[in-house]
Amino acid sequence: MAQLVLRPATPQASPCLYQQRRDSPNSLSSSLRTLISVDDTRMATTPHQLFLLADHIKLTLLERQRAQSLSLATTAQSSQISRSLESLRDGLASLARQKFDEEAAGEDITDLESQISRLQSQYDELEADFSSSNTSEVTKTPNDPALQRDFAAAQSRPQGMRSSSLRKGAKSPGSKAVRFRDNPSAEEGPYKDDVADEATRAALFDKPYSDETEGPDQENMDNQQIHTYHKQVLRDQDDQLDQLGLSIGRQRDLSIQMGNELDDQAVLLDDVDQSVDRHQGTLDRAKGRLNKISRGAKDNWSWVTIGCLILVLVLLIVLLK
């Protein structure tokens, strides 16, 4: 079983080590844990080391209590407290044996006996707090004054978590009604830059857009004048329709011409396709003839070789005679 060995810090370095703290429940005693290392062969046998171990257990208990208040998991703290309490109990047994040895040797054990009594009392309180999930005044008080700020931080709660839990636990207030007015006053109307600008904007945008100019006022015209005006309007519309018909006719002629050109292009593409087919047939026939010549050359290669050798032999005979 791994046992904890505490390395006591010097009075000058201890405050610096204990200044580094965080608000998370698992890191408040990080400065104290730096003084603790695991060793399988040695046992904490000095009262100072056991007091530090007791402070470590107190901080872990406070962390567990705060984690419980925040609805967080406390399994890691509980297992750590259990191991630390076991190490503290073994340390007390070791101090008891040391006290017996010193008493047998005739040494003064008054100071050691007082420290063992304090440690035993703290051990009983810590074990009771661990079993009941409560914290006594002994648990809230450190043995080392340098750990006072760590203990204060362990008993506090982070501001963000506190406000969040308060928001969750607070009762929702009564519903509030927002009062609206059907006819708001002029002072409560939308913001306007300038009254003159508003008038200009109304003159420009309040009227619908029209391609045609407005006709004459027909209220001051008699029936004959109105009839003449309508005939003129119909005549103008007929002229516009005639122009539109001519434009549509030109578009139709252009469409017919484009269709004829597309037909001509299709005929040209057919001619090109036929030419490609003819050239492909010519190439296939030429390829067949080349393959035939190649096969014939391979078949007659032996006879050509024999003829060449005979010719060389005849030349040699003639030259040698």
Name 135's Cβ contacts closer than 8 Å, sequence gap at least 6.
61, 62, 65, 129
Chain-wide mean pLDDT for the chain?
Answer: 74
Q: What is the pTM of this model?
A: 0.38
**What are residue 6's DSSP bridge partners?**
36
Residue carrying the six token digits 């001051």: 220
Which CB contacts under 8 angstroms, 24+ apart, belong to 182-189?
none
CA–CA separation, 232 and 215 (whole Å): 12
Check pLDDT > 50 for residue 138.
yes
Q: Is 5 helix (H, G, I), strand (E, B) or coil?
A: strand
CA–CA separation, 109 and 100 (whole Å): 9
CB atoms within 10 A of CB 115: 17
pLDDT in tens, 181-227: 555 554 455 555 565 666 666 666 655 555 555 666 666 778 888 88
Calculate what percentage of the chain has a pLDDT beyond 90. 21
| pLDDT of amino acid 191 | 57
pLDDT-derived band at 12, boundaries 50, 70, 90: very low
Mean pLDDT of 13-39: 39
